[in-house]
């Protein structure tokens, strides 16, 4: 996956196949319980991604995002 910043509010994510990743992730994150973390790890593996939750605070600050974990 490649993220290309376009403006402060928009980034292009390539390849376009990752649209389905975000659809699947949103379903997982809306599920309560501990199985969501396991499913998220399985999804990351499916798409060849490595999750770095330690980066989240910096990304939230830098891009003025809403923290999804708060």
Model confidence, pTM: 0.61
Q: List, for residues 31-47, the tens digit of each pLDDT value.
A: 877 788 889 899 999 98
DSSP state, residue 55: G
Contact 50, 44 (CB under 8 A): yes
Q: What is the pLDDT of residues 7-34, one digit of tens each?
A: 666 666 667 777 788 889 888 888 877 7
């Amino acid at each position: 996956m490649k993220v290309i910043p376009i403006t402060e509010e928009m980034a292009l994510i390539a390849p376009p196949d990752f649209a389905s990743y975000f659809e699947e992730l949103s379903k997982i994150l809306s599920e309560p319980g501990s199985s969501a973390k396991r499913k998220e790890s399985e999804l990351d593996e499916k798409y060849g991604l490595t999750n770095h939750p330690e980066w989240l605070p910096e990304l939230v600050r830098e891009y003025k995002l809403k923290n999804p974990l708060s």
